[in-house]
Chains A and B, each alone.
Chain A
Amino acid sequence: MARNVKLRIWRGDSKDGGLKDVTVEANEGEVVLDVIHRVQATQMGDLAVRWNCKAGKCGSCSMEINGKPRLACMTQVASFGDDETITVTPLRAFPVIKDLVTDVSFNYKKAMEVPAYEHPKNLAPGEARMEQIDVERSQEFRKCIECFLCQDVCHVVRDHEENKKSFAGPRFFIRIAELDMHPLDMLKNRKKTAQEEHGLGMCNITKCCTEVCPEHIKITDNAIIPMKERVADIKYDPVRWLGTKIRKREGL
């Protein structure tokens, strides 16, 4: 049951661009990425779009669909009304390269700034023993497919280029939380560096990131808030603050 859908696609590059209207056929069950591909194969051979797995597993086809950050491969055409125009635009928080493709290198730079996992020195390969319940907390964050929709939607950087330098963004807060909750990781002070070096304090918990996460990771509730609470506990509790001074214990 093919029908025609109206698409409005942003076309352009780093200098200039605008929305172009096209009409394209859509078949039953198709997702927005399918119709974009059909436009590419039949009407706009050089239309730039990223994609890989087409199954919501790789996080490549991130874009904004009717203004909302989404994966094009997981957005059903049928979820829009028959007469509704589907507007697709590139991620707003990152510089456009061409059409729907943006320069997401910001995220890879931030990834390099998060100190790596540190394995216990005397724990040989194969000797690790962990309870399932203990690995599950970090496993939730390791589900992240790095689609960067959370980075795109986050208002700290979405319209504030100047904040990018000091703000790692939700994706990397869950990376830090994941390492912080990792049963074996030996590096101390992860929460403290999240606060002091990666801009955790700039987040004011509007939960936009959680809302757009295609993996349904509870970014705010399970990663950001627990880290913020612990940071606050230790920073403002005079007894614990003293404890970190006297016993030279790393509290965070």
Chain B
Amino acid sequence: MTLERHKYDVLVIGAGGAGLRAAVEAREAGLRVAIICKSLFGKAHTVMAEGGAAASMGNVNDKDSWKVHFRDTMRGGKFLSHYRMAELHAKEAPDRIWELETWGALFDRTKEGKISQRNFGGHEYPRLAHVGDRTGLELIRTMQQKIVALQQKDGRETGDMESGIKVFAELTITDILKENGKIAGAYGYWRESGEEVLFEAPAVVIATGGVGKTFKITSNSWEGTGDGHALALKAGANLVDMEFLQFHPTGMVWPPSVRGILVTESVRGEGGVLTNNLGERFMFKYIPDVFKDKYADNEAEADRWYEDQDNNRRPPELLPRDEVARAINTEVKSGRGTEHGGVFLDVSKRIPAEVIKKRLPSMWHQFYELAGVDITKEAMEVGPTCHYIMGGVEVEPDNAAAVGVPGLFAAGEVAGGMHGSNRLGGNSLSDLLVFGRRAGMGAIDYLKKNGANPVSDASIAKAKAKIQAPFDRQGGENSYSLHAELQEITHNLVGIIRTGSELKEAIEKIAEIRKRSANVAVSGGRVFNPGFHLAFDLDNMLLVAESTAKSAITREESRGGHTRDDFPEMDTKWRQINLISSFDGEKVNIREQALPTYPQELFDLFDIHELEKYMTPEETSKGGTK
């Protein structure tokens, strides 16, 4: 049978927000673009984003500006974010939101008719553009429909709607192909038929999202298997700071089948409070020193803040996610949790039922249908769930180019650097718009100097053999059981609280599963066979888990989404270091790399006393780069 082949200028792997935004950018510049999605078009994990997209439009509080947003982002990430990414993100987010409106998006409005903005953890002012609690759906649908608009334009011009941009749905990429040191294309298979496909494209944008499925309790769907992280590693790119995983403080905990499903931070943004089984509003006990001047230490002030933000400090329920997740974890471990191992989150006492249903409609629906809980009358039970990975492909901030691999770009959750050690809620949807577009721009620029780079027969043969291998084995390992074993290891040994000895054990066990996974066998045929699909997803998850565990054992401090029981303090020395993962064909290796120092104008945006909490005296006395 002849191999199905396609030639494009740009191949976008991943059809979530970042991928679609990159595709729009590249197509509008006249390039031919293929979009690959592992699911059906429009089902990517972006639909699950609930709270909103952070952008300092200043529609609700006009004191907001990109500078305040930049500061909040750097603080949230405990000053480990790449300053340039955080700067670009804060500056460009408002334009990206307004642009969506010109494509038909309908955000909720303020009284003046502007886009409404809501409060969220770590954001000084109301900043999240939103549509109830289904903002991600609005984003993905708007971009999906923008792609259709571009296809209709191409149809009018060429008679073929798919001549300039085509969506390949339910297709998995198994290899990114290089020739002569540069990107040449990618290889994969149709999930429906199991048949193989070659894409020849000199520029590839990876926008595959996260890695949540490596963990047992996660808010991520089956798609979050770290495909892009692993593909990039194997193609010679680096991953940066893979130890930083965000455990969202509020996932559902009961019944067991819904454990991990996200409960939006908007519940707290709208006034929801966290209590333990003693009825104590415990977050007041967990305000870290670095945030003491910004968060209320008593209930009266916290409550007043909802009405008067200028004269009161914020409620501690709205601390950055890492702080809240650790606090809940401590409460539960200390025996103050709920019957099912969570804590209570209650919005019913503060907000009238009809307002809850209007502002948090999908939360109401989710709890009512899945847990039999009416959140307008009673409290929810919540606990931490693996939600987001801050670490990811090391990229050039301005054009999202993957360091070390010409022609490769990465944007969205799969890219690293932007969020440092902890991402603020709402910064993900804006991140994928800002850097999705920049990845598209990066590809456009790259193609001005680089043309087609044909894929060799040798590369095709190698990619082909890999896909066939699990079918040829008899009586080998079951990919479902190996996946479950991996999830146990990450959950128990690489979870919210880590220690050196457990991480060492995790690294050994992951290596052992990887050895066994080389012997995975698949039953059944190639047509829509989930066991076969999981075999490849598993390979990616194992590589990502190895990178995370090795990065985590190296970083001997606690910061953001990385907490070490044996090194509980934040260490100024470690703030200056990124941990870089690379792959030598057999194993992941970790090395230290110095973070760039801030330019003077960004350094000057902070009060020096705040920087002193994070930086060494040498750093603060030296100041920014002139």
Q: A residues engaging B (CB < 8 A)?
A: 13, 27-31, 34, 40-41, 45-60, 74, 97-99, 101, 103-104, 108, 111-112, 114-117, 119, 123, 125-126, 128-132, 135, 138-139, 142-143, 145-146, 179, 182, 185
Contacts and interface: CB of A to CB of B under 8 A. Distances in A.
Contacts of B145: 116-117
Nearest to A119: B102
B370 A130 contact: no
A236 B138 CA distance: 37
Given A60-B40, A116-B152, 9 more contacts: A45-B529, A46-B530, A51-B222, A56-B362, A57-B137, A119-B102, A126-B98, A130-B106, A142-B137
A52 to B, nearest CB: 4
B366 A55 contact: yes
A126 B214 CA distance: 40
Q: Name the 3 nearest CB pairs between A and B, nearest first.
A: A29-B255, A46-B524, A117-B104
Contacts of A139: 106, 131-132
B307 interface: no
Given A13-B527, A29-B257, A52 B221 contact: yes
A28 B221 contact: no
Interface string B180-222: 0000000000001000000000000000000000000000011
Interface in B108-149: 108-109, 112-114, 116, 131-132, 134, 137-138, 141, 145-146, 148-149
B109 A132 contact: yes
A54 B221 contact: yes
A142 B141 CA distance: 8
B212 to A, nearest CB: 12
B531 A45 contact: yes
B528 A130 contact: no
Nearest to A41: B480
Nearest to B112: A129
B144 to A, nearest CB: 8
Contacts of B169: 108
Given A31-B257, A55-B370, A74-B369, A117 B528 contact: no
B353 interface: no
Interface string B329-371: 0000000000000000000000000000000001001100111
Interface string B519-550: 00011110111111000000000000000000
Contacts of A74: 369-370
A231 to B, nearest CB: 23
A223 B113 CA distance: 24
Interface string B7-44: 00000000000000000000000000000000111110
Contacts of B523: 45-46
B104 A58 contact: no
Given A29-B371, A52-B222, A130-B109, A58 B47 contact: yes
Contacts of A145: 47, 137
Contacts of A138: 106
A7 B566 CA distance: 49
B53 interface: no
A142 B256 contact: no
Nearest to B365: A56
24 contacts: A27-B257, A29-B256, A31-B370, A41-B480, A46-B522, A52-B43, A52-B47, A52-B221, A56-B370, A60-B43, A101-B528, A103-B192, A112-B151, A116-B146, A116-B152, A117-B104, A128-B101, A128-B113, A130-B109, A135-B107, A138-B106, A143-B134, A182-B104, A185-B104
Contacts of B41: 108
B393 to A, nearest CB: 23
Contact of A116 (B42, B47, B149, B256): B149
A97 B192 contact: yes
Task: Say which size band chain B's interface belongs to.
Answer: 35 or more
A45 B480 contact: yes
A57 B362 contact: yes
Given A29-B258, A57-B134, A143-B134, A126 B94 contact: yes
A97 B527 contact: yes
A232 B97 CA distance: 38
Nearest to A183: B106
B262 to A, nearest CB: 7
B106 A142 contact: yes
Contact of B104 (A119, A125, A130): A119
B256 A28 contact: yes
A241 B332 CA distance: 70
B291 interface: no
Contacts of A45: 478, 480, 522-524, 529-531
B254 A111 contact: no
A235 B315 CA distance: 59
A50 B258 contact: no
A74 to B, nearest CB: 6
Contacts of A116: 104, 145-146, 148-149, 152
Given A34-B257, A98-B528, A125-B102, A57 B47 contact: yes
B261 interface: yes
A129 B39 contact: no
B161 interface: yes
B265 interface: no
User: Most A CB atoms within 10 A — which of B95, B109, B192, B254?
Assistant: B109
A58 B98 contact: no
B48 A57 contact: yes
Given A50-B40, A117-B103, A129 B138 contact: no
A40 B94 CA distance: 45
Contacts of B478: 45
Contact of B221 (A49, A53, A103, A123): A53
A139 B116 CA distance: 14
Contacts of B610: none
B381 interface: no
A145 B146 CA distance: 17
B99 interface: yes
Given A40-B530, A125-B99, A104 B40 contact: yes
Contacts of A49: 530
B223 interface: yes
A56 B106 contact: no
B340 to A, nearest CB: 10
A179 B141 CA distance: 13
Nearest to B155: A112
A11 B531 CA distance: 16
A52 B191 CA distance: 14
A48 B529 contact: yes
Contacts of B40: 50, 60, 104
Contacts of A40: 480, 530-531
Contacts of A182: 104, 106
